[in-house]
Structure 1
Amino acid sequence: MFRRIKQDIQCVFERDPAARNTFEILTTYPGVHAVLLHRLSHALWNHHLKWLARVLSNLGRWVTGIEIHPGAQIGHRFFIDHGMGVVIGETAQIGDDCTLYHGVTLGGTTWQKGKRHPTLANNVVVGAGAKVIGPITLAEGVRVGSNAVVVKDIPPGATVVGIPGRVVAKVKPGPEDERRKAFAAKIGFDAYGTTQDMPDPVANAIDCMLDHIHAMDQQMETMCRSLKALGMEIEVPDLPDLEVCDISGKDLKGPDDIGMADDPGKPEKS
């Protein structure tokens, strides 16, 4: 048991860059306090001292804001970051190296006895505010996005987002991604600075638009070259400037009107 407690403390250094030393973790991390109290209450629960286990669990809830039923089974190196509002039900099972953030619920969907809470395999991360409901299984390496609601089994390595939770497939980087990035930079759009671990449906839709625009651009260039080869004179007009509207709805026509007036390094026009 003491080896597990030592691992629970040491894993904080790996997952929280704000952690500075062991004394700070032991005295100021409610997630660690909740896990330590659960280790003790779970031992009492297994020794059929269920009332005493529930009293200790309730004390941990009052002190930390984290509710873990003493019957829940939790593996090695479990970390609750921030922790306020976390609820873990009686029949929940959590594997090794899992991480939960604040506001997470591992809840049940029935009042019947038996297995009614989720099972988390190893290396699962559940984002802030997410709800994992029912006797479902999140396989190894699953990532659950913030505020997602998961009500069905999730395969290994998948990322889940939305309400209800849906699996978002990860796209392996390759030449297609490099071409998209270069073309996006050409037209002044960069969707790749958002996140790489959590695919963005909006970014994916814009990726499709970029692919389509790029294909149209290539076709137009091919047509122009073909027409010039036939001796036709083609006048290529200048593309019009895009009109940008600020939050107030005022039309901004040129670059001098877009945020330049507030630039202290730019001289005002006479």
Structure 2
Amino acid sequence: MSYKNCFVKKSTVLSSLIAAATLCFSAMASAAPTNVAGSLPGGWTGTGSYGTLGANGVVTASSSGGAYGWVSTSGGVGGASLPGVGGTTGSYVRSSAFSANAGDSLAFDFNYITSDGGRFADYAWARLLSSDLTQSQVLFTIRTTPDGNDLIGASGLGKSANSANVSIIGDEPVWSPLGADSGECFDDGCGYTGWINTRFDIADAGEYILEFGVSSWDDVSYHSGLAFDGITVGGRSLIPGQVPEPASLALLGLGFAGLLACGRRRRIA
């Protein structure tokens, strides 16, 4: 094969390779989570104000390094609160149903962010629901106390599987899901927890739905939110990572193979 012909073929293969790479990255971009309120992983549902977001303000990227889910009282709706606990307005999201065995470990990262403190502190929670949406277990509740300490399983906010205290990083938190209250603070207790990894053992085998929520307390002023990510059940992810489509990967592989083959022919010639 002549050098000219090989160059032409090599250029054609390179063009195909670039086109394949463009297709591949376009597919990744279209599949990636967005920052638009209301977006959720496939199969998830939500009420109120929720979405997915990358590193933003005081909330860094989580341990997974990708986008995380969030709920916020900013844009929340009435009645979105824990049964028997109450609240004014709030938001929650629910995963698609998943199967779990007795003893399976449920693990995830969370970060509680609040601009509301003092005696009006908001609260957030995570709980397991049965497939018929009846409550199976409250995993945790979290709010700031008037002295500024975050407390998981705060008194009057339901049963918790983890009663450890979590220190809050005092701040006037800047985080876009807080809406107009981003960068604001009412009284002591504003700030964020930073990403915290927590783990629970599922007691009984069955079909479950995981819920994350946040609710205002006695008022609707000064907002709070909960970020969450890295959710696994028995080591299986509930939010599979986005990967290039197999067809695009195969096309990239063929392109590289063509370049190598053309190079070999040139050396032989």
TM-score exceeds 0.5: no
Q: TM-score, normalised by structure 2?
A: 0.22
The structure in which a higher percent of residues are helix is: 1
Q: TM-score, normalised by structure 1?
A: 0.22
The structure in which a higher percent of residues are strand is: 2
Larger C-alpha radius of gyration, 1 or 2?
A: 1
